[in-house]
A and B are shown apart, each in its own frame.
Chain A
Amino acid sequence: NAGVMQNPRHLVRRRGQEARLRCSPMKGHSHVYWYRQLPEEGLKFMVYLQKENIIDESGMPKERFSAEFPKEGPSILRIQQVVRGDSAAYFCASSPPSLGGSSSEQYFGPGTRLTVT
Chain B
Amino acid sequence: DQQVKQNSPSLSVQEGRISILNCDYTNSMFDYFLWYKKYPAEGPTFLISISSIKDKNEDGRFTVFLNKSAKHLSLHIVPSQPGDSAVYFCAASASGAGSYQLTFGKGTKLSVIP
Seen from chain A, the residues whose Cβ lies within 8 Å of a Cβ on chain B are 4, 6, 9, 31, 33, 35, 40-45, 48, 56, 58-59, 91, 93, 95, 100-104, 106-111
Contacts and interface: CB of A to CB of B under 8 A. Distances in A.
B114 interface: no
A95 B93 CA distance: 15
Interface stretch (B10-18, B56-64, B68-76, B96-104): B96-104
Given A41-B106, A91-B43, A103-B32, A59 B101 contact: yes
A110 B103 contact: no
What bracket does the count of chain B residues touching chain A fall in? 20 to 34
B103 A45 contact: yes
A111 B40 CA distance: 11
B42 interface: yes
Interface string B33-49: 01010000111111001
Interface of B: 4, 6, 32, 34, 36, 41-46, 49, 89, 91, 93, 98-107
A108 B45 contact: yes
Given A42-B89, A42-B107, A103-B32, A56 B101 contact: yes
Contacts, number: 71
Given A40-B106, A43-B104, A101 B46 contact: no
List 3 tightest A-B contacts by C-beta distance, closest first.
A101-B100, A42-B104, A108-B43
Contacts of A107: 46
A45 B106 contact: no
B90 to A, nearest CB: 9
Contacts of B103: 42, 45
B99 to A, nearest CB: 6
10 contacts: A9-B41, A40-B106, A42-B105, A44-B104, A45-B103, A101-B100, A102-B99, A103-B100, A103-B101, A106-B102
Contacts of A43: 44, 89, 91, 102, 104
A41 B101 CA distance: 17
A42 B100 contact: no
A4 B44 CA distance: 11
Contacts of B42: 110-111
Contacts of A41: 106
